Amino acid sequence: MIVSGVFALVGASERVDARGVDAAAAAAERGVVVARVLHLASRSLWVRAQAEGAYRGSTLGADLDEVGFVHASAASQLPGVVAAVYGEEDLVDHVLLVVDVDACEAAGSPVRWEAPPGGDQAYPHVYGPVPLAAVVAALDVGRDAAGALRLPDLAALDVVVVPPS
């Protein structure tokens, strides 16, 4: 297990994406140990964050000040989050932020993996604004013609696939 602050990347077999790519292991081979998580943001909040220097959205219709943290997810959790929070929304007005955990923590915004009340799966929560320097990519998302979630290729971005157990 690779640990970064309070964030853990679990065993290599659990980090393999749909194409069989272990992004964290590939990063380690390059001498880079990273922990990156995902946040689905409205495009307008992302534009505002770029002007203000930090992202402060939390979840659909709520911000950091209201909730106390920014919701995030591992790659395997994202489809379930989208289904639960966004339903059939087309997502054209959203971007997927790839957030570097170490950069958040270095800026004073710790990341904790916590299960929601009554839940058994932990999700990453960023306790503070996400600095622009921590956002390594802002990617388009959407739905295909059948309405299925269409996600960008995350393999080269060292995103955690499965949350720590």
Q: Are 112 and 139 in contact (CB under 8 A)?
A: no
Residue 107 lies in a domain: yes
**Domain interval for residue 120:** 37-154
Query: Does residue 9 have a pLDDT over 50?
Result: no
CA-nearest of 8, 109, 4 to 49 is 109
Q: Which of 6-10, 40-44, 116-120, 124-128 is least confident? A: 6-10
Q: What is the pTM of this model?
A: 0.80
Q: What is the 3-state secondary structure (H, E, C) of the chain?
A: CEEECCEEECCHHHCECCCCCEHHHHHHHCCCCCCEEEEEEEHHHHHHHHHHCEECEEECCEEHHHHCCEECECHHHHHHHHHHHHCCCCCCCEEEEEEEHHHHHHCCCCEEEECCCCCCCCEEEECCCEEHHHEEEEEECEECCCCCEECCCCHHHCECCCCCC
- Does residue 31 form part of some domain? no
Structurally, how many domains does the chain consist of? Answer: 1
Residue 18 or 82, more confident: 82
Q: What is the pLDDT of residues 35-72, one digit of tens each?
A: 899 999 999 999 999 999 999 999 989 999 999 999 99
Residue 62, domain member (yes or no): yes
Residues 6+ apart with CB under 8 A from 16: 22, 161
165 lies in a domain?
no
Would 22 be classed as within a structural domain? no
Whether 70 maps to a domain, the answer reads yes
Examine residue 159 and state whether it is found in any structural domain, yes or no: no
What is the per-residue pLDDT across 75-112, written as a single tens digit (0 to 9) for each? 999 999 999 999 988 899 999 999 999 999 999 999 99
Considering the domain boundaries, does residue 114 fall inside one? yes
The CATH number of residue 113's host domain is 3.20.170.20
